């Protein structure tokens, strides 16, 4: 086997590591601006596939198939994002005789349509969020639309059938806003997914986003895993995930896992996939959608089960049988939390902060896993999402995992660009987070409150007066050393003590 990794960034590095551990050669692909990216340097081979714009490189099926042909790869790992849930790509791989490391194109197509996926869940006997069973007709009249909306009930969401990541989605509180919401949702969906179809879904009040990872082999075995809690979201984008969830009892876990496995079996699912549920305050859960690929947040599951999901994706694609102990996969060991370190400035509304990484020292040590995709000297480009690394902390208990994450965030150095590290340090101290009292509305609400209080809101960094003084002292010394000093002067006192040793070193040869 030789695997073409049809992706970039941390997930490409993750897949390359798995390949290397399995003795499988890996082939990276890269766009113009990614020549120096870490995945290119880490892979056994690397093929240039086009200009920096994703549409001209990482999204171009023909270029990827050419790269596979050129490199002699016989399998393709799509990662997440880009073409990972594109049925046409999976089909094109199959047609080209390549093993697509994921489910069949047919399954991708089914689960990629939110309405078709909901129908599949219903057939499997799993409750879905109340809503329309089929897309709204393009030419439905206002009265018919209003009736459909009343049937679902307000507040509701207008959602793109092909949607994802909050795009093509609008909240509607009453009928007056309905027509406008449908119009903008259709327009966004059309430009984002090339499909303007939308449908209605009831908006649950304070739901948690709980998802079940699963693996299915080609011999019919489906194994669900302990849940991931992904309710810390900003504008429908997950930023912190953990496993297990404080909101899920062992009994509820069994029920959610069974429901997820039922849906997967109903569509003959193979490979790694995730069923997303919304969990309401009463403990009822509703099928939301299925992601037919590896998730960004897969490491938290790996940390509490010990399973390497990426290696299993590859093994399943090779036709191996799942030989995992299904009971153990539902019995998490300890607790894991993931923070997504983005190149964004949390103090400027999470504005992207691309640019040159002048220094990088990821956190390490006990219980810490760093899944990074960048390196010092690399310029975070403006063309793709801004995820630089995922920092995962494991500990025997949730509180210890929070404490460990805080320790790791403090020792994580990224120089030259802004990142979300200060935000996570802040979050790890919030009473709601520490107590686990949060749902999917928590973060947007808190951020809105902070924004509303305007210029008086301190930044997430919350430097004490003493810390500010220390920074001022450092800045003054830095300026002094640069203004007066040679490098030797800059080196400080110890350098001189070391000069002898260095000189002696030079003689060793």
Footprint of its own copies on this chain (CB under 8 A)?
13-14, 17-18, 20-23, 32-33, 35-36, 42, 52, 299, 302, 306-308, 310, 333-334, 354-356, 361-362, 364-372, 375, 379, 381-382, 395-396, 400, 403-404, 406-407, 410-411, 492-494, 497-498, 501-502, 505
Q: Give the integer Cα–Cα distance in Å for 160 and 296.
A: 22
CB of 50 to its own copies, least distance (A): 13
Given its own copies, other proteins, none, residue 44, with its beta carbon under 5 to 8 Å by kind, binds: other proteins
* Residue closest to 131 by CA, chosen among 172, 164, 165: 172
User: With CB cut-offs between 5 and 8 Å by kind, which of other proteins, its own copies, none does residue 14 bind?
Assistant: its own copies
> Is the Cβ–Cβ distance between 384 and 312 less than 8 Å?
no
Q: Give Cα 133 to chain centroid, integer Å.
A: 28
Partner whose binding site includes residue 368, from other proteins, its own copies, none (CB under 5 to 8 Å by kind): its own copies
State the binding partner of 437 from its own copies, other proteins, none, CB within 5 to 8 A by kind. Answer: none
Instruction: Give the residue with the Cβ less far from other proteins, 59 or 212.
Output: 59
Q: Determine which helix (DSSP H) or strand (DSSP E) holds 211, and give its type and residue range.
A: strand 208-216
Binding segment (CB under 8 A) for other proteins, from list 270-278, 294-302, 439-447, 466-474: 466-474
For residue 142, give both structure tokens: 């206002």
Place of tokens 């941390």: 10
- Measured distance CA(99)–CA(91) in Å, rounded: 10
DSSP annotation of 98: P
For its own copies, the closer of residues 364 and 475 by Cβ is 364
Give the chain's radius of gyration (CA, Å).
Answer: 24
171-179's contacts with Cβ under 8 Å and 24+ in sequence apart are 171/203, 175/146, 175/149, 175/150, 178/145, 178/146, 178/149, 179/142, 179/145
DSSP state of 346: G
Which distant-in-sequence residues (6+ apart) come within 8 Å of 132 by Cβ?
115, 148, 151, 152, 199, 200, 201
Query: How many angstroms separate the CA atoms of 501 and 184, rounded?
Result: 68
At closest approach, how far in Å is the CB of 288 from other proteins? 21
Exposed / middle / buried, residue 270 (Cβ in 10 Å: 0-12, 13-18, 19+): buried
**Among its own copies, other proteins, none, partner that 80 touches (CB below 5 to 8 angstroms by kind):** none
- 19 C-beta neighbours (distance < 10 Å), count: 25
Of 41, 94, 328, 450, which one interacts with other proteins (CB under 8 A)? 41
- Least separation in angstroms between residue 414's CB and its own copies is 14
By beta-carbon proximity to its own copies, the closer residue of 35 and 206 is 35
Examine residue 451 and tell whether it contacts other proteins (CB under 8 A): yes
Q: Name which position in 254, 382, 397, 399 contacts other proteins (CB under 8 A).
A: 382
Q: How many residues bind to other proteins according to rule CB under 8 A?
A: 83
Cα–Cα distance between 445 and 56 in angstroms, integer? 38
Residue 403 interacts with, from other proteins, its own copies, none (CB under 5-8 Å by kind): its own copies
Q: Please pick, from the candidates 431, 454, 456, 486, the single residue that binds other proteins as defined by CB under 8 A.
A: 454
Residue in 5, 13, 40, 337 binding other proteins, rule: CB under 8 A: 40
Beta pairing class for 351-352 and 344-345? antiparallel
333/217 Cα distance (integer angstroms): 24
Residue of 423, 429, 422 lying closest to 402 (CA atoms): 429
| Contacting residues for 277 by C-beta, under 8 A, at least 6 apart | 209, 210, 211, 212, 256, 259, 260, 285, 286, 287, 288
Q: Could you say whether residue 470 binds other proteins (CB under 8 A)?
A: yes
Indicate which residues carry an active-site annotation: 293
Site for other proteins in 198-237 (CB under 8 A): none
Binding residues for other proteins restricted to 303-342, rule: CB under 8 A: none
Show the site string, 96-135: x = touches other proteins by CB under 8 A, - = not: ----------------------------------------
71 is a site residue for other proteins (CB under 8 A): yes
23 makes contact with other proteins (CB under 8 A): no
Residue 481 binding target from other proteins, its own copies, none, CB below 5 to 8 Å by type = other proteins
Exactly one of 351, 434, 448, 499 binds other proteins (CB under 8 A); which one? Answer: 351
Q: Which does 365 bind (CB under 5 to 8 A by kind): its own copies, other proteins, none?
A: its own copies
| Residue in 134, 147, 471, 499 binding other proteins, rule: CB under 8 A | 471
Window of 242-250, 279-287, 415-423, 435-443 that interacts with other proteins by CB under 8 A: 415-423
Q: Contact region for other proteins (CB under 8 A) — 2-10, 92-100, 376-384, 435-443?
A: 376-384
Q: Give the shortest CB-40-to-its own copies separation in angstroms.
A: 10
DSSP 172: E
Is the separation of the CB atoms in 276 and 289 below 8 Å? Answer: yes
């Amino acid at each position: 086997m030789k695997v073409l990794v049809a992706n970039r960034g941390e997930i490409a590095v993750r897949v390359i590591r798995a390949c290397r551990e399995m003795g499988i050669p890996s082939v990276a692909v890269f766009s113009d601006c990614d020549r120096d990216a870490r995945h290119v340097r880490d892979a056994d081979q690397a093929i240039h596939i086009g200009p920096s714009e994703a549409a001209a490189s990482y999204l171009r099926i023909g270029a990827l198939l050419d790269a596979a042909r050129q490199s002699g790869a016989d399998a393709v790992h799509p990662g997440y994002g880009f073409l990972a849930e594109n049925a046409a790509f999976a089909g094109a791989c199959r047609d080209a005789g390549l093993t697509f490391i994921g489910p069949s194109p047919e399954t991708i197509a089914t689960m990629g349509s939110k309405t078709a996926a909901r129908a599949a869940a219903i057939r499997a006997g799993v409750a879905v969020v109340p809503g329309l069973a089929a897309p709204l007709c393009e030419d439905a009249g206002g009265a018919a639309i209003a009736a459909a909306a009343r049937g679902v009930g307000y507040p509701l969401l207008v959602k793109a059938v092909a949607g994802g990541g909050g795009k093509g989605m609008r909240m509607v509180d009453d009928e007056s806003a309905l027509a406008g919401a449908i119009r903008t949702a259709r327009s966004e969906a059309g430009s984002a997914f090339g499909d303007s179809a939308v449908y209605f879904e009831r908006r649950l009040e304070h739901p948690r986003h709980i998802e079940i990872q699963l693996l299915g082999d080609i011999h019919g075995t489906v194994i669900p895993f302990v849940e991931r809690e992904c309710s810390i979201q900003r504008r429908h984008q997950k930023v912190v995930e953990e496993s297990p969830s404080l909101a899920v009892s062992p009994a509820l876990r069994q029920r959610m896992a069974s429901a997820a496995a039922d849906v997967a079996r109903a569509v003959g699912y193979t490979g790694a996939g995730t069923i997303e549920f919304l969990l309401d305050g009463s403990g009822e859960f509703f099928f939301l959608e299925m992601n037919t690929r590896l998730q960004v947040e897969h490491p938290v599951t790996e940390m509490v089960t010990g399973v390497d999901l990426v290696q299993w994706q590859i093994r399943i694609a090779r036709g191996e049988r799942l030989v995992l102990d299904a009971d153990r996969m539902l019995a998490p060991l300890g607790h894991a939390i993931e923070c997504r370190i983005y190149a964004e400035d949390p103090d400027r509304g999470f504005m992207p902060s691309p640019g040159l990484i002048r220094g990088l020292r990821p956190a390490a040590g006990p219980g810490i896993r760093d899944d990074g995709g960048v390196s010092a000297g690399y310029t975070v480009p403006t063309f793709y999402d801004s995820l630089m690394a995922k920092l995962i902390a494991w500990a025997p208990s949730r509180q210890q995992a929070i404490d460990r994450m805080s320790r790791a965030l403090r020792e994580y150095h990224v120089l030259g660009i802004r990142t979300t590290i200060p935000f996570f340090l802040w979050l790890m101290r919030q009473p709601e987070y520490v107590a686990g009292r949060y749902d999917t509305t928590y973060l947007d609400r808190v951020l809105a409150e902070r924004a509303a209080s305007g210029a008086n809101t301190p930044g997430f960094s919350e430097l004490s007066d003493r810390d500010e003084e220390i920074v001022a002292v450092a800045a003054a010394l830095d300026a002094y050393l640069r203004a007066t000093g040679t490098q030797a002067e800059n080196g400080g006192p110890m350098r001189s003590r070391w000069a002898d040793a260095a000189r002696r070193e030079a003689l060793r040869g």
